[in-house]
Amino acid sequence: MNLMEILNLVTEHQAKITLFLNNIDNIIKAAIGVAALVIVLLILNIISLVKISRLKKRLNKFTQKGDEFDIEKMLAQYIDRSNVIDGKYDEVLYQIKDINSRLRFAVSRLGLVRYNHFEDVGGDLCFALALLDENSSGVVINTIFSREGSYIYAKPVFEGESSNPLSDEEKKSIEVALRR
């Protein structure tokens, strides 16, 4: 072997050694990358386990029945209850509408005026009382007390007016009722 052959052999091996070292460098980089990926996946796995554990605790608090828990059955029961409540709601709504329609004709405005009709009787024993609904219709009642007897008069009222003649006290009691 001559010197040239030896130099060629060394140069050939040097290239292979350099390629081998470059491959080892790449393998180390790849191993570091894989190790970093494994660490990230391990952290994600731990986070997932913690979340699953929390969900299990919440589910156990929610069910409190252990293994006999059937969410489909429970949801079906809630839907049935909801339908019953809807039916009752419709019934209550109908009743409220009925009550409201009746209340339009209920006495909702009162006007009371006390007065002395006769000079010899004191204490404001006479009074005029207007009982009106929300349409300002109803009745005005007038009571007159004297030493000889008591008298009661009732007069119809329609939309704040009466077809009968009204005394000043009766008119005033209607005005008081309409202001309320």
Q: Which of 135, 130, 136 is nearest to 171 (CA)?
A: 130
pTM given for the model: 0.51
Residue 129 contacts residue 173 (beta carbons within 8 Å): yes
pLDDT 10s per residue in the chain (180 long)?
Answer: 677 777 777 777 777 777 666 777 777 888 898 999 999 999 999 999 999 999 888 877 766 665 566 777 888 889 999 999 998 999 999 999 999 888 888 888 999 999 987 776 667 789 999 999 988 999 999 999 887 888 999 999 999 889 999 999 999 999 999 988
